Chains A and B, each alone.
Chain A
Amino acid sequence: MTAAARISLDLIGITKVYPSAVALNQVSLGIRGGEVVGLIGENGAGKSTLMKVLGGTIAPDEGEIVIDGKTTSHLTPAEALAHGIAFVHQELNPFFNLDVAGNVLLGRELRSRPFGFIDHAAMAERVKPLLDMLGARFQPSTQASELSLADQQLMEIAKALSTNVRLLILDEPTSSLTLAETQRLLDVVRRLRADGVAILFITHRLAEVEAVADRVVGLRDGRNAGELQSGSINRDAMVRLMIGRDVTQFYTPPQARQGPVVLRIRNFRTEAYPQAPVDLEVRGGEILGLAGLVGAGRTELARAIFGIDPVQGGRVEMNDKPVASGSVPAAIAAGICLVPEDRKGEGLFLDFSLSENVVMPNLSAIATAGFVDRRAEMEIADRSRSRLSIRAPRLDRAVSELSGGNQQKVVLAKWLGLDPRLIILDEPTRGIDVGAKAEVYRLMRDLAEGGAAVLMISSDMEEVIGVSTRVAVMRRGAIAGILSRADLSEEAILRLAVG
Chain B
Amino acid sequence: MHKKDIGLAVLVLTVGAIVTLVNPRFVSPVNLANTANLIGLFGLFSIAEAFVIVTAGIELSIGSVIALLGVIFIDLIASHGVPWPVAFAIVLVLSVVIGLLHGWLITRLKLQPFVVTLCGLLIYRGIARFYTRDGTAGFTFGTDLPILEYLFVGRTAGVPHSVMAFGVFAVLAWFLLHRTVFGRHLLAVGKNEEAARYCGINTKRVVVTAYVLCAFLTGVSAIFFAMYTKSVQPSSHGNFYELYAIAAAVLGGFSLRGGEGSIVGVVLGVVLLQVLQNLVNLLGIPSSLNFAVMGAVILVGVIADTQFHAYRQRRHHQATRSALAEVSRTPSANS
**Chain A residues proximal to chain B, CB less than 8 Å:** 15, 17-22, 25-26, 61, 220, 223-225, 306, 308, 328-329, 331-332, 338, 340, 345-352, 356, 360-361, 363-364, 367, 370-372, 414
The 8 closest A-B pairs by CB, nearest first: A361-B199, A332-B200, A19-B316, A19-B317, A363-B181, A223-B335, A360-B199, A370-B180
A106, chain B: closest CB distance, angstroms: 26
Known: A17-B317, A22-B324, A352-B191. A371 touches B259 (CB 8 A): no
- Per the bound structure, the CA–CA distance linking A17 and B194 in Å amounts to 34
Is A414's CB under 8 angstroms from B182's CB? no
Residues of A with C-beta under 8 A to B187:
352
Contacts between the two chains (Cβ within 8 Å), count: 87
Q: Does B25 contact A (CB under 8 A)?
A: no
Within 8 A of A (CB), among B305-335: 313, 316-317, 320-321, 324, 328, 335
Q: Quick one: closest A residue to B259, CB to CB? A: A351
A sample of 15 more A-B contacts (CB under 8 A), given A345-B194, A349-B195, A372-B179, is A17-B321, A19-B313, A20-B316, A22-B320, A224-B335, A225-B335, A306-B198, A328-B197, A345-B195, A349-B259, A360-B184, A360-B196, A364-B181, A371-B179, A372-B180
Is A61's CB under 8 angstroms from B181's CB? no
A-B contact pairs, 14 of them (CB 8 A): A15-B324, A17-B321, A22-B320, A306-B198, A345-B192, A345-B195, A349-B188, A352-B191, A356-B184, A360-B184, A360-B199, A363-B184, A364-B181, A370-B181
Is B184's CB under 8 angstroms from A308's CB? no
Is B320's CB under 8 angstroms from A17's CB? yes
A344, chain B: closest CB distance, angstroms: 9
Is A340's CB under 8 angstroms from B320's CB? no
A251, chain B: closest CB distance, angstroms: 28
Residues of A with C-beta under 8 A to B191:
349, 351-352
Residues of B with C-beta under 8 A to A351:
191, 259-260
Known: A370-B180, A371-B179, A372-B184. A308 touches B335 (CB 8 A): no
Within 8 A of A (CB), among B172-188: 175, 179-182, 184-185, 187-188
Q: Quick one: closest A residue to B335, CB to CB? A: A223
Q: Does B202 contact A (CB under 8 A)?
A: yes
**Chain B residues proximal to chain A, CB less than 8 Å:** 175, 179-182, 184-185, 187-188, 191-192, 194-202, 259-260, 313, 316-317, 320-321, 324, 328, 335
Is B200's CB under 8 angstroms from A328's CB? yes
- Per the bound structure, the CA–CA distance linking A444 and B43 in Å amounts to 51
Is A370's CB under 8 angstroms from B199's CB? no
Is B195's CB under 8 angstroms from A338's CB? no
Known: A332-B200, A347-B195. A17 touches B324 (CB 8 A): yes
Is A349's CB under 8 angstroms from B192's CB? yes
Known: A22-B324, A224-B335, A364-B181. A346 touches B195 (CB 8 A): yes
Which of B196, B313, B335 has the largest number of chain A CB atoms within 10 A? B335
- Per the bound structure, the CA–CA distance linking A363 and B187 in Å amounts to 13
Residues of B with C-beta under 8 A to A18:
317, 320
- Per the bound structure, the CA–CA distance linking A348 and B185 in Å amounts to 14
Which of B175, B196, B197, B199 has the largest number of chain A CB atoms within 10 A? B199
- Per the bound structure, the CA–CA distance linking A352 and B183 in Å amounts to 14
Residues of B with C-beta under 8 A to A356:
184
Residues of A with C-beta under 8 A to B181:
363-364, 367, 370-372
Residues of B with C-beta under 8 A to A346:
194-195, 198
- Per the bound structure, the CA–CA distance linking A329 and B201 in Å amounts to 7
B130, chain A: closest CB distance, angstroms: 42
